[in-house]
Amino acid sequence: MDEKQLIGRRIKELRKSKGLSQEQLAEKAETSPNYLSRMERGTENPTLDMLIKLSNALEVEMWEMFDFGHVANQKELKDAIQAFSKFADEPALRLALKIIRAVSR
């Protein structure tokens, strides 16, 4: 998934968390629902001005639209853990295992 898609996915996630339809957010951000839809799909390059309008319309800080590190499906999460395990030293692996065990209890 490329950065445009991640940003679009994050905008959609924020919109839904605010209980807004695409039409409602588009109106608040002074854009068209079609343009917003293309941004959410990652097929449109939003301008800085549009990102500012979206952050204001969503009532979030600009950085929150770029906070997509937590967005991952199960396969991506497993791949990330597997990649970590390949390069981590023994103390880091022991700590990671303790954390995973503590969280899964």
Question: What does the domain layout of the chain look like in residue ranges?
Answer: 3-66, 74-104
The CATH class given to the 3-66 domain equals: mainly alpha
Q: Is the pLDDT of residue 78 over 90?
A: no
Residue 2, pLDDT score = 78
Q: Is the pLDDT of residue 72 over 80?
A: no
What is the 3 state secondary structure string of the chain? CCHHHHHHHHHHHHHHHCCCCHHHHHHHCCCCHHHHHHHHHCCCCCCHHHHHHHHHHHCCCHHHHHCCCCCCCHHHHHHHHHHHHHHCCHHHHHHHHHHHHHHHC
What mean pLDDT comes out for the span 35-56? 96
Indicate the pTM of the whole model.
0.67
Q: Is the pLDDT of residue 59 over 80?
A: yes
